[in-house]
Amino acid sequence: MDSDRLHRRSDAGPPCGFVDLDLAEVGRAILPHHKIAFAGESETWGGPTATIVSSLGDMLPGILYETDPVQESSLSCFENADGHRLQDTHRKISITVMCDDGSAYPSYTFVRAKPEASLPPSKKYVAALEKSYADMVNEHKVGLLREYIKELISEKDKP
């Protein structure tokens, strides 16, 4: 959801960069019956990163972008999906999101290839998530996101 991060990826260079990732935003979207989770290990972020998991009754907010096949391939490369690297850490899945205009849009997202449980995310990563959501929602809802992440982290500690 972070448009600044997409711009940095455009300039990253080969094998994934130098593709215009100034994506056209369709609008805010909701992915029904899913929630955020944290899995894997990222050297960049110092811990696990976000993925999504099915969760009946939950709704996950996000942003829907329009991509062309070249941009889609570049994003797959950045996410280590679809055979772009020796080992896929993520896989691309088809989803349907509901946008502010009331329309359902067929789309795709990336999820961890192995959604194994791991430690809570780093403060650096949580701050990046908060920034992404801050661009999308008002400050009150960013506070709600902080509480949501705290709840997810505390759920990991339950027996």
Give the range of the structural domain holding residue 134, as residue numbers without chain letter.
Answer: 24-67+90-156
Would you say residue 135 lies in a domain?
yes
Query: What CATH number is associated with residue 107?
Result: 3.10.490.10
Could you tell me if 50 and 38 are in contact, meaning their C-beta atoms sit under 8 angstroms apart? Answer: yes
Would you say residue 12 lies in a domain?
no
* pTM for this predicted structure: 0.78
Would you say residue 38 lies in a domain?
yes
12 pLDDT exceeds 70? Answer: yes
Would you say residue 18 lies in a domain?
no
In tens, the pLDDT along 42-52 reads 888 888 888 88
Would you say residue 31 lies in a domain?
yes
Q: Tally the domains of the chain.
A: 1
Would you say residue 97 lies in a domain?
yes
In tens, the pLDDT along 86-144 reads 677 889 999 999 988 889 999 999 998 887 766 788 888 888 877 777 666 544 445 55
Would you say residue 8 lies in a domain?
no
Which residues face 73 on adjacent strands? Answer: none
